[in-house]
Amino acid sequence: MDIDEIRTFVAIAQLGGFSRAADRLHRSQPAISRRIGLIEQEFGAPLFERAHGGAGLTEAGRAFLPFAEAVLSAIEDGRQAVRATISEAGGAVSLALVGTLADSNIVDVLRQFAQRSVAVELDLRTATSQEVSDLVRRGEVTLGLRYHPDERGELVSRVVGVEPMRVICSPEHPLVGKRVSKRHLANEKWVGFPAMRGRESFGRLLERLLAPIGVDDVKITLIDSLTAQKRLVQAGFGLALVPESSVRDELKLGNLKELEIPAMRASIPVALIHRRNGYLNPAARALIAAMSEKTLRLSERGGAD
């Protein structure tokens, strides 16, 4: 089994199809199929269930996937380690972050880091919290910024900031400008994330904040998109509990309104993550240090030193 075969297997697993993997790897589909056939012959077990329009992992494929991803991550670590010994520049570091954090003072920290480290190549991309963890775990990026620490043992998480949460509603909502009590919230509809992403998910946070004030039978329209939630709230389909940085512009423009509910004041941690046994070049270590200098209040733009 060679590296190309392992890379082919991982690409199919990630993309869910042979043709899509062939496009990514710039190989013909017959060549892709031959590589998988060789691995399956070596294992004596099928790795994929072929179906019209795609391919899914078999039990054997699911068992092999984390080891295959670890091999590719180790190779990338080795490549970065060698580059660090021969590079005259400051090196490169890749960071994936949740898109809404791009409107927080984390951007100021990144800007100042780039100004101080002009020889460092900083590669940024955005993703959801779960996608950030997956990118880091697979070694596709070195560092990640996500909401809530990732407690899986293969990742190291450190909290570098806190994001205030805000209850928002449409500008025409009858509660705008009122002192909101439990009585007002008893029959309100909510728009929120599915509460199935772990105990610290946004959806579970909403339920935990409502329960102590006696709102138990919560009517939540489950929407797995922050942008869609904001649009539905603006259209009057309910209230929502969202990160402040995600609605700053809408609140300024008056497209959304914030409800002041003292009992529902909350914040969520933002964590910087990297692989526990992954290689961190000097550029990555410098960025970790810059992000860890102090706990950041992410709602404050321009407040980073």
Name residue 147's beta-bridge partners.
270
Residue 303 domain-assigned? no
Angle value at C-alpha 298, between 296 and 303, nearest 5 degrees = 65
Regarding whether 231 and 144 lie in a shared domain, the answer is no
Same domain for 143 and 285?
yes
Please compute Rg for the chain using Cα positions. 23
- Cα 270 from chain centroid? 11
**pLDDT of amino acid 224:** 81
Q: Give the CATH number of the domain where residue 43 resides.
A: 1.10.10.10
Q: Residue 304: what pLDDT? A: 38
Does residue 62 belong to any structural domain of this protein?
Answer: yes
Q: Record the pTM.
A: 0.68
304 in any annotated domain: no
120/93 Cα distance (integer angstroms): 7
The answer to whether residues 112 and 136 belong to one domain is yes
Q: Which amino acid is at 133?
A: S
The verdict on 213 and 67 lying in the same domain is no
Domain of 146 in residue numbering reads as: 89-161+269-297
**258, part of any domain:** yes
Three-point CA angle 228, 234, 240, nearest 5°: 70
Residues 27 and 176 occupy one common structural domain: no
- Distance separating alpha carbons of residues 134 and 265, to the nearest angstrom: 30
Three-state DSSP string of 11-48: HHHHHCCHHHHHHHHCCCHHHHHHHHHHHHHHHCCCCE
pLDDT string in tens for the chain (305-residue length): 888 999 999 999 988 888 888 988 999 988 988 999 999 999 999 999 887 778 889 999 999 998 998 898 888 888 877 776 666 556 789 999 998 887 777 888 888 888 888 888 899 999 988 899 999 988 889 999 998 998 888 899 999 988 899 999 999 999 998 888 777 887 889 998 876 555 456 767 888 888 777 777 778 888 888 889 999 999 999 999 998 888 988 999 999 999 988 888 888 899 999 999 888 888 899 899 988 875 555 544 443 33
Query: Are 229 and 257 contained in the same domain?
Result: yes
> Is 176 in the same domain as 151?
no
Question: Is 223 inside a domain boundary?
Answer: yes
Do the Cβ atoms of 278 and 139 come closer than 8 Å? Answer: yes
Residue 199 is encoded by which pair of tokens? 């105990």
Q: In the 8-state DSSP scheme, what is residue 256?
A: S
| 183 and 59 housed in the same domain | no
DSSP state of 224: S
Residues 238 and 279 in one domain: no
Confidence (pLDDT) at 196: 52
pLDDT at 298: 57
Whether 153 maps to a domain, the answer reads yes
Q: What span, in angstroms and rounded, lies between the C-alpha atoms of 284 and 130? A: 21
My answer on whether 176 and 95 are in the same domain is: no
Alpha-carbon distance of 68 to 154, in angstroms, equals 15
Q: Are strands 120-127 and 91-98 parallel, antiparallel or unpaired?
A: parallel
Please name the helix (run of DSSP H) or strand (run of DSSP E) that holds residue 215, with its range, or none.
none
Q: What is the pLDDT of residue 278?
A: 86
Residue 232 has a pLDDT of 95
Count of structural domains, the chain: 3
226 and 188 share a domain? yes
Residue 78 lies in a domain: no
Q: Are residues 171 and 263 in the same domain?
A: yes
pLDDT computed for residue 39 by the predictor: 92
